Amino acid sequence: MPKVVAGAVEARDVATFLLRDVVVVPGGELIRRKVYRGDWDQLPDMDSLTPTSADRVALLKIDDIDGTFAASFDAFLPNA
């Protein structure tokens, strides 16, 4: 495959151009949480369920959810 960019600086410039409408805010609420209500004998297939709520949280937390539920978390973890 041929080289698309000449080096790291040019790669950054191309990425900046392509992602110009993306806003990245360091820190804050980086974790997407989806909550599913129900009573299951085993872990449900969450891809086949519709979440009853979805929000963003800063920590992996479930202490603010009452009742019987399942939760899934998705996050982007940047390289430091």
Question: CA nearest 70: which of 50, 5, 80?
Answer: 50
pLDDT at 8 over 90: no
Question: CA nearest 65: which of 29, 32, 36?
Answer: 36
Q: pLDDT tens digit string along 12-26? A: 777 778 877 766 655
44-61: average pLDDT: 89
Hey, which residues does 56 pair with through a beta bridge? 32
pTM assigned to the model = 0.59
pLDDT top residue among 3 and 14: 14
40-61: average pLDDT: 89
pLDDT at 1: 47
